[in-house]
A and B are shown apart, each in its own frame.
Chain A
Amino acid sequence: MQLGIFTVGDVTPDPTNGTTPTEYEKIKNTIILAKKAEEIGLDVFATAEHHNPPFASPGNPPILLSAIAAQTEKLIVSTATTLITTNDPVRLAEDYAYLQHVSDGRMDLMLGRGNTGPVYPWFGKDIRDGIPLAIENYDLLHRLWREDVVNWEGKYRTPLQGFTSTPRPLDGVPPFVWHGSIRSPEIAEQAAYYGNGFFANHIFWPASHTEQMVRLYRQRFEHYGHGDADQAIVGLGGQFFMRRNSQDAVREYRPYFDVSPVYGHGPSLEDFSSQTPLTVGSPQQVLERTLGFRDYVGDYQRQLFLVDHSGLPIKTVLEQMDLLGEILPDLRAGFAEGRPAHIPDAPTHGARVAAAGGAHDATVYAGADAATGSRAEDAR
């Protein structure tokens, strides 16, 4: 079981005092937060990708993730999510393979479609093609990491003739991919088809919805022959605000919740807490609620929490991390309790290399002409 945090990188005013961090502060705080994640013993840090204010998450996550990988030793860096719709799959293949080398395999990535319509035309795409883009682009990405020379033609980008994406995956094993979704069953189906991980956003919608999505993914994972349904690779989001005394947590968090960019001005903190996995209370309450997620998705592989959003100051966020660190041993023990032996662990680079029969270097050494089998003048 991997435990970690994910950030949306929103630059939101602190509603209690009106101060807003600069982009510089938010970006540096994000790196501080990632290092803190390693310090308290978490396994994963994942960043969102955004292309518009009020976000200071990177437009190209590997830039941030490389910096974090350079300043940590054990932490797995990932995305939550990187956009499989508007990014060129060739760039994704190159950038994340490069990150794989830079981080010595301490990385994976989660793909999403993006949560805002306007982003599509900024990159020459149409939101109505969201699902077809996610399907075609990932299929190409999948091939670029598994075939040294790719000939490809599709609908949404220029064709590739004899193309080799570099660098080749570290140790000959492509990065592990999660497919993230709030509500699209097509994405659960896509994850199942490839035997990739499925990450349910979980934090915005009722548990009953997540339960349905994960069940579909598990059924289809088995259908496509990747293993039994309970061996599918499942991740969940979560969010909490903790204080030692639960009333203090509610009192302190409410002003942030009430004007939160996503659900603010809507349901009450109490209603939203009962309708979604949000837990505002004592560390013990967060521990118990989190361990309860298994009741409706089964034993799973990755739990990521959102901790640094809605204008919460970095000092408070780091205090939340300290409290998370305190319950971490109990979380790990709780998740391990009663977990059947045939349930796989979350994929890591090391485990995937071992499963592939050991590391083999996949470098394509040949010059460009020999690698692609053609010369520039042949294209005329």
Chain B
Amino acid sequence: MTRHLVVVSAGLSSPSSTRILADQLAAAVEERLVGRGEDVRIEVIELREHARALADNLLTGFPSGALAQAVQAVAQADAVIAVTPVFSASYSGLFKTFFDVLEPGALEGKPVLMGATAGTARHSLVLEHALRPLFSYLKATPVPTGVFAASEDFGSNGASEQGSRLAARVDRAAAELVALLDGPSARADVPPARKLQGSTEFDPEAADFVSFDQLLGG
């Protein structure tokens, strides 16, 4: 079985941090699916390439050329990864316009992994106050974890605290998307959000216990 994954990126620059986050999310989903023997076909839609066609669509009422193919790809996808930069406290107009021109019902029941990027982490709740209501309205099934990445997440490498936290969020969101693809009851592969039961925080012998020496000395 081949899973058809469509990535929608509303980043405007090249390279764009929005696209980088989108690629990370797609790669994480692909890794999980391939890891269990499934084929994955990933199609990336850069909305920048459809900017004029989107404006035209608002006026003419129909998508033309390559935009028509992009709209169809989303409608036929098994799951969608949608990533936008934050503009003026919300998704970008370009991002919204693309979802405005989809046929009604195009996203119904479709798992959607949401991502957003911004210069500062102060925008991180944009996923919850802007993107999630949008996809709920469109009757998509947004995964519980949306992934927000600020400049500081990209500014640090993967081994650092910030970088590994982003990687962990990406991995968690990918696991949730795969679980949604399997159906509502398949949640076994989703890593727990926080270690409460069986936590090693109180075990001084555990490998990840941080002693005061370490806290003091770094």
Most chain-B CB neighbours within 10 Å: which of A205, A264, A265, A266? Answer: A266
Tell yes or no: A55 within 8 A of B by CB. no
Q: Is A266 a contact of B62 with CB atoms below 8 Å?
A: no
Partner of B62 from A205, A262, A264, A265 at Cβ < 8 Å = A205
Query: Digit string of A225-264 for contact with B (CB within 8 Å is 1, else 0)?
Result: 0000000000000000000000000000000000000111
A201 to B: closest C-beta gap in Å:
11
Tell yes or no: B192 within 8 A of A by CB. no
Tell yes or no: A206 within 8 A of B by CB. yes
Residue of B nearest to A208 (CB): B68
- Assembled-state Cα–Cα distance A263/B60 (Å): 6
Q: Is A204 a contact of B59 with CB atoms below 8 Å?
A: no
B56 to A: closest C-beta gap in Å:
4
- Assembled-state Cα–Cα distance A205/B59 (Å): 11
Q: Is A204 a contact of B61 with CB atoms below 8 Å?
A: yes
Segment at the B interface, from A93-101, A267-275, A358-366: A267-275
Tell yes or no: B71 within 8 A of A by CB. no
Using Cβ atoms and an 8 Å threshold, which residues of chain B touch A206? 62, 64
Tell yes or no: B51 within 8 A of A by CB. no
Using Cβ atoms and an 8 Å threshold, which residues of chain B touch A205? 60-62
Tell yes or no: A91 within 8 A of B by CB. no
A208 to B: closest C-beta gap in Å:
9
Using Cβ atoms and an 8 Å threshold, which residues of chain B touch A183? 61
Tell yes or no: A332 within 8 A of B by CB. no
- Assembled-state Cα–Cα distance A195/B60 (Å): 31
Tell yes or no: A28 within 8 A of B by CB. no
Tell yes or no: A209 within 8 A of B by CB. yes
Provide the main secondary structure of the chain A interface: loop
Using Cβ atoms and an 8 Å threshold, which residues of chain A touch B61? 183, 204-205
Query: Digit string of B61-72 for contact with A (CB within 8 Å is 1, else 0)?
Result: 110110000000
Using Cβ atoms and an 8 Å threshold, which residues of chain A touch B59? 262-267
Partner of B56 from A204, A209, A262, A266 at Cβ < 8 Å = A266
- Assembled-state Cα–Cα distance A263/B59 (Å): 6
Using Cβ atoms and an 8 Å threshold, which residues of chain B touch A209? 62
A270 to B: closest C-beta gap in Å:
12
The count of residues in chain B whose C-beta lies closer than 8 Å to any C-beta of chain A is 9
Tell yes or no: B55 within 8 A of A by CB. yes
A204 to B: closest C-beta gap in Å:
7
- Assembled-state Cα–Cα distance A272/B64 (Å): 9
Using Cβ atoms and an 8 Å threshold, which residues of chain B touch A263? 59-60
- Assembled-state Cα–Cα distance A206/B60 (Å): 10
- Assembled-state Cα–Cα distance A35/B20 (Å): 64
A56 to B: closest C-beta gap in Å:
24
- Assembled-state Cα–Cα distance A271/B66 (Å): 12
Using Cβ atoms and an 8 Å threshold, which residues of chain A touch B58? 266
Using Cβ atoms and an 8 Å threshold, which residues of chain B touch A265? 59
B60 to A: closest C-beta gap in Å:
5
Using Cβ atoms and an 8 Å threshold, which residues of chain A touch B55? 266
- Assembled-state Cα–Cα distance A264/B58 (Å): 11
Q: Is B60 a contact of A272 with CB atoms below 8 Å?
A: yes
Residue of A nearest to B57 (CB): A266
B50 to A: closest C-beta gap in Å:
13
Q: Is A271 a contact of B62 with CB atoms below 8 Å?
A: no
Query: Digit string of B30-65 for contact with A (CB within 8 Å is 1, else 0)?
Result: 000000000000000000000000011011111011
Residue of B nearest to A209 (CB): B62
Partner of B64 from A204, A264, A275 at Cβ < 8 Å = A275
Residue of A nearest to B60 (CB): A263
Residue of A nearest to B55 (CB): A266
- Assembled-state Cα–Cα distance A263/B58 (Å): 9
- Assembled-state Cα–Cα distance A305/B60 (Å): 19
Query: Digit string of A202-223 for contact with B (CB within 8 Å is 1, else 0)?
Result: 0011100100000000000000
Q: Is A267 a contact of B60 with CB atoms below 8 Å?
A: yes
A224 to B: closest C-beta gap in Å:
27
Using Cβ atoms and an 8 Å threshold, which residues of chain A touch B62? 204-206, 209, 275
Using Cβ atoms and an 8 Å threshold, which residues of chain A touch B56? 266-267, 271
Using Cβ atoms and an 8 Å threshold, which residues of chain A touch B65? 275
- Assembled-state Cα–Cα distance A43/B55 (Å): 38
A275 to B: closest C-beta gap in Å:
5
Residue of B nearest to A271 (CB): B64
A200 to B: closest C-beta gap in Å:
14
Q: Kindly list 10 other residue pairs between chains A and B, CB separation below 8 angstroms, not including A204-B61, A266-B60, A275-B62.
A: A183-B61, A204-B62, A205-B61, A205-B62, A206-B62, A263-B60, A266-B58, A267-B60, A267-B64, A275-B65
A-B residue pairs in contact (CB < 8 Å), sample of 26: A183-B61, A204-B60, A204-B62, A205-B60, A205-B61, A205-B62, A209-B62, A262-B59, A263-B59, A263-B60, A264-B59, A265-B59, A266-B55, A266-B56, A266-B58, A266-B59, A267-B59, A267-B60, A267-B64, A271-B56, A271-B64, A272-B60, A275-B60, A275-B62, A275-B64, A275-B65
